[in-house]
Chain A
Amino acid sequence: MEILVCVRRVPDTSENEIELNSAGNDIERDELVYSINEWDNYAVEEALQIVSRVGGKVTVVTVGDDEDEEILRRQMAMGATHGVLLSDHLFAGSDGRGIAAILKAFIQKGNYELILTGVQAEDGAAQVGGMLAAMLDYPFASLVNSIEILDGKTLRITREIEGGNKELNEIDLPCVLSIQTGINEPRYVGMRGIRQVASVPIPTFGAPDLGVNPEIVGPLAAKIRRVDYFLPAAGRGAEMLYGKPEEIADKVVELVRTKGGLS
């Protein structure tokens, strides 16, 4: 199966102290460390596991610039067959729709049966997967947390729904799925693996290569604009639970369950 995974490089929330810049319109980006968006990492792992079961190839693609090659290499070290960078100065400042349009153009040049994205990016709006499917006129399922290949044409998937419940679906190929964390246990990528793919060439495609109309990408085409970044006002204090230890434990379990932490 030919699988494409759309990935993105984001500031690593566990390794940065995110602060607003002095203008208040963006985060302070000096000294940030980046990594692959966590959801995308699960998507790549899932693609690799599917390929190890049924054969095929995994391609990872990102829209960005030279610095984003880093995550493509990391995913190739993980086992992805190809990494592709979609880069053009025209792409900078695109909104989700613009990114989806760029990805769509790339996908139509290939022959991918299954397209995976993360549910959302750590700094994103969880919109590219759905828009991409719509532009391609492919079926789409979000929040996918298991994939089973039924035959060459159909997948059986489960989706996570509110309250920690699961929903079982069948979906026809080709399709787009947005992958939820916890679908698998992503493998570790060591420095050795990254160094081994350090010199593998990564093909880069710009707007002309993809046949992307410059008028539908970039800041001018964006229909969503970021106006402000701010820290939410501190809410009221923590909720205190009272009672015997057993009662408190029951309340905690119930709270976690209603928030979807237990299934």
Chain B
Amino acid sequence: MHNKKFVKHYYLMMLPGFVWLIMFSIVPMFGVVMAFQDFNPVQGIFKSKFVGLDNFRYMFIMSDIKQVFINTLVIAIGKIIGNLVVPLAFALLLSELRWKRFGRPIQTIVYLPYFLSWVILGSIVLNIFAYTGPINEFLSMFGLKPIKFFGRADLFRPLIIGTDVWKSFGYNAVIYLAALLGIDPTLHEAAAVDGAGRFRRLLHITLPGIKSTIVLLAILSLGNILNAGFEQIFNLYNPVVYSTGDIIDTWVYRAGLVDLQFSLATAVGLLKSGVSLILIALGYWLADKFAGYKIF
């Protein structure tokens, strides 16, 4: 069932989407040549002087860039682990819930923060953790002194990872919950007849049943290893916590669009995009090889 005449209509259908893609994704990609230039907006991309790898060399001798890469890695890895483990734990608790009629309302509420922006959640988080906010009020009931939560470099990373997991654990649990539904209930029944308690069934039936999902999600999150979450950090950080909280994306924004160091910012951004591309491709390849997962 195929008709050669259809193909030209297929092209016609794809035309608007691909024009959009070319203009707003592909054309900007050519801008990465700025990373190898001493870019000057007056001369433009065609006349600016080429400097080879100078921007990259300069990048590696700048000490704050090293810290920015470290911050990015630490925060991103913390988020990857948190976003794999917490949703799993939540999904398991929910599947063990005895009173099923509570399941639906619980899910309805925990998905909500995922759909709110970091602008909104950031302002709420800053209010709640403020010096005179409810968390400090709560701590003072135990005689503890108030803490400037977002004014302390040592607390910034845990707060960022924690609030990110809080925002998205409900949403991330959806895939686990779908996988849990796929486990054959007769396995549980048979094990129960054989005298296996709930914990043993969890260990020997439930977890093996969703093992492939866990592995798949872990592999696919590989590509996020340099993604510490620009929108969140941009809305929660301040100069006091740059030492632990400034990440590649926030640094690139400030260097490029605030300080107008176009070439250096592009070089740092390109390094990040390049490494991420390799890691994502590796993740997809591994997912295909070990879990038979194809994105298309």
- The answer to whether A and B assemble together is no
